[in-house]
Amino acid sequence: MIAVALDGPSGAGKSTIAQEAARQLGFLHVDTGALYRAIGLLALRKGADVTDPAQVLPLLPEAEISLRFTPEGQRILLQGEDVSEEVRTPRASMAASSVSAMPEVRRFLLELQRDLARKNNVIMDGRDIGTVVLPDAAVKIFLTADPKTRATRRYKELIQKGIDADPDTVLREVEERDYNDSHRAAAPLRQAEDAWLCDTTDLTLAGTVAAVVGYIRERAGI
């Protein structure tokens, strides 16, 4: 099996690019961020303080999370309910940032992620795939763009989905997420030493996908 680890900061377009690259290559796309978003969403629904491990960790036993793969992409189920759209809200995103800083939450989801890679050719995107989840992945990519570009893309995505958003607020949230992800004690966001850095600031979506697919084919020999 071939595993591709695709990491990068919030708003870099990891999921969109990974999904299209996986489609072209016939791989399975695994959006690991959705798993943490589901935990964050569960905590929000339970009225828990998402920054407090004492309130979040007791919820893990009831966090029945599964992935369903469809021709349109990955769907995330929480206790049997499809929450694929709800986990994409800014509120769920910030909750994911908080709960993902908890080592117990990361351990809870680790085996699920590794099991998918053992059984399938995957492009797995997240923030610690190449450094922690799949350190022996055949291909590692670190996808990024400057914060303003990422915030603009995120803002447009929210508006297209009918979610009310403010550009300045989105930029502030992106910068806050960057800081939280890179400074957390558990598996902080960083580029793996053997990962290819792909800066998409001046690239189109199609151009980025072409570059990523080309690099995967070259490294994996396919």
pTM: 0.77
pLDDT of residue 139: 97
Residue 55 CB burial class (10 angstroms; 0-12, 13-18, ≥19)? middle
pLDDT of residue 117: 92
156: Cα separation from own chain's centroid = 18
pLDDT of residue 162: 86
Residue 79, by phi and psi: left (phi above 0), alpha (psi -120 to 50) or beta? left
Contacts of 19 (CB under 8 A, 6+ apart): 29, 31, 73, 74
pLDDT of residue 17: 92
pLDDT of residue 84: 93
pLDDT of residue 138: 94
pLDDT of residue 178: 84
Phi and psi torsions of 113, nearest 5°:
-65, -45
pLDDT by 10-residue block (mean), the chain, 222 residues: 92 88 92 91 96 96 87 87 91 90 91 89 92 95 92 87 87 87 80 93 90 95 88
